[in-house]
Amino acid sequence: MNVLLVRPPSILGRMSRQNLQHPTNLIGLASELNRCGHHASVLDLEVASGGLDSLHEALASQQPAVVGVSVVTPHVPGAGVLLSKVRAQLPDVFTIAGGPHATALPEDLLDEIPELDAICIGEGDVSIVELCDALETARGRSDLTSISGLHLRQGGFTGWRDPLEDLDSLAPLDRSLLDWSAYERMAGSKGVASPGIVRKGIRAAQVHLSRGCYARCVFCSTNLVWGERARPGIRRRSVERVLEEIDELVGRGVNHLNFEDDIFPPTLRFLEELAEELIRREITWSCNARVDGLQREHFELMAASGCKKIDFGVESGSERILELNQKLVTRSRVVTVFEEAKRAGILRTAYLMLGSHVDETPEEVQLTRQLAKEIEPDFLTFTIACPYPGTELWNECKERGFLDLLPSGRPDWAQYGYYPRVPPWRFTHFTSQQMVDTQKRFLQAFYLRPSFAWKSLKKVRSFEHLKALVVAGLDVSHFLRRHVGARS
């Protein structure tokens, strides 16, 4: 059976190149389908040069029987547009959506996008294969209610599917399904975004080590997607399988890895085994990490094995807010970890947030700013917390009437991204405009400092590095200018 899996176009405009990644979720599903005898391909409309015309061409040439769409919240309007085009071109095709938003609001999404036949809830690795197997039989669509993990337009909810325990049982990611040159056209020769890692000849890709998270941060929907029943454990791949993937990437010319897990490392023993192997390979890497668990010796080992940068989820400088948002970290721990990573020679990003809890006050945002000055990160983000469906933050904002709605009665999903102009939501102590004003002042205070510019220029070792620095600076300046109506 021919299957086409699609990522909708990005809503981020020029900022998309600062966030560009391969759609590994779709590659994984397609790889699994192909191993099981189907013929699946991936179309990434974030990078396709022809835009939606590329969709028309793919439908015409491949004639898929199933079209699947990955849906994060800001992609909902785009998913609706592309699925309407799919249905117009192939009236009998079976359409399905998955992803965080689809898992959080399946019935609402079916209602909002009438061209959808089904929603896949949570992990889709097994569900999508069983769906295609059933559609290929003589019974066809009448035999889908026995497949767990689906919301069917004709048949309702089929029940939750247990989380997959053995991640090694999945098919290896077949990255030949991607048009690598398309990512290079958008993000430069390195292919995918790896902010802060710049050197001549860099070519990057992301690798996932595990699924799941032991925390319950109120602004995060991770546990909704991976399944509450998988808690409290973190399911991880074996080091051997991870190394097979890394070696395959190296064979493709990749020389830098982004480990993009919710929890890094999945265990300290895993880190030790992986790092020992990475020391033997000529490759560098970066990762996302929490600020709990890692000690000085771990940072030293990470640096020795090629770690160049760690992006830490810090969120707030207020002890009260850290406790309320169930971050499971303390301010003092943040300070210690940033000192130890710096001592090991690793670049550090601080992910900070306005409104990680709905009751955060302006005074507590000031505490976050003070923390940023104290830890002196090499890079910093300061986002406005987005109440994504499926999170406690969403429930709080909805119950308190803090969500602005369209005449349809739904939020404007296209604004539920990292960089909204003026968010269509508010918090207890902040109006939408006040959030934008605060964000703008915070970012300007960090990135427009002469000391930051001087420190960045001192690190320049090549023309490529200088060019990347200029491009990133222009993108940040563009982002700040977008808030033309913001009062400073």
Q: What is the pLDDT of residue 461?
A: 61
3-state secondary structure of 237: coil
Q: 232 near 214, Cβ under 8 Å?
A: yes
| Longest CA span, the chain | 69
pLDDT tens for the 488 residues of the chain, in order:
999 999 999 877 666 767 789 999 999 999 999 999 999 999 999 999 888 899 999 999 999 999 999 999 999 999 999 999 999 999 999 999 999 999 999 999 999 999 999 999 989 999 999 999 999 986 666 689 999 999 999 889 999 998 898 999 999 999 999 999 998 888 777 788 888 887 888 899 999 999 988 888 999 988 777 755 444 568 899 999 999 999 999 999 999 999 999 889 989 999 999 999 999 998 999 999 989 889 999 999 999 999 999 999 999 999 999 999 988 889 999 999 999 999 999 999 999 999 999 999 999 999 999 999 999 999 999 999 999 999 999 999 999 999 999 999 999 999 998 766 789 999 999 999 999 999 989 988 888 777 766 666 656 666 666 566 555 655 555 555 665 334 33
Question: What is the reported pTM?
Answer: 0.91
Q: Which two tokens stand for residue 474?
A: 């222009």
CA distances to 7, 178, 363 from 78, in Å? 10, 21, 38
In terms of C-beta distances under 8 Å and separation of at least 24 residues, what long-range contacts does 106-109 make, across chains too? 106/151, 106/157, 107/151, 108/410, 109/71, 109/76
pLDDT at 45: 94
Q: How far apart are CA 428 and CA 423, in angstroms?
A: 14
Dihedral Cα 317, 321, 323, 326, nearest 10 deg: -100
Location of structure tokens 């309702």: 156
Which ranges constitute the DSSP H helices of 64-191? 76-89, 100-104, 106-112, 125-136, 180-187
Sign of the torsion angle spanned by Cα atoms 422, 375, 328, 340: positive
Query: What pLDDT, on the 0 to 100 scale, is given for residue 230?
Result: 42
Question: For the chain, how many residues are written?
Answer: 488
Token couple for 71: 């849906």
pLDDT tens-place string over residues 124-167: 999 999 999 999 986 666 689 999 999 999 889 999 998 898 99
Structure tokens at 257: 């890895």
Structural domains present in the chain:
2-157 (3.40.50.280), 188-482 (3.80.30.20)
Q: Which residues contact 68 (CB under 8 A, 6 or more apart)?
A: 3, 4, 5, 6, 26, 29, 95, 96, 97, 98, 120, 128
Report the candidate in 327, 334, 427 with the shortest Cα–Cα distance to residue 380: 334
**H or E stretch including 471?**
helix 463-482
Mean pLDDT of the chain: 89
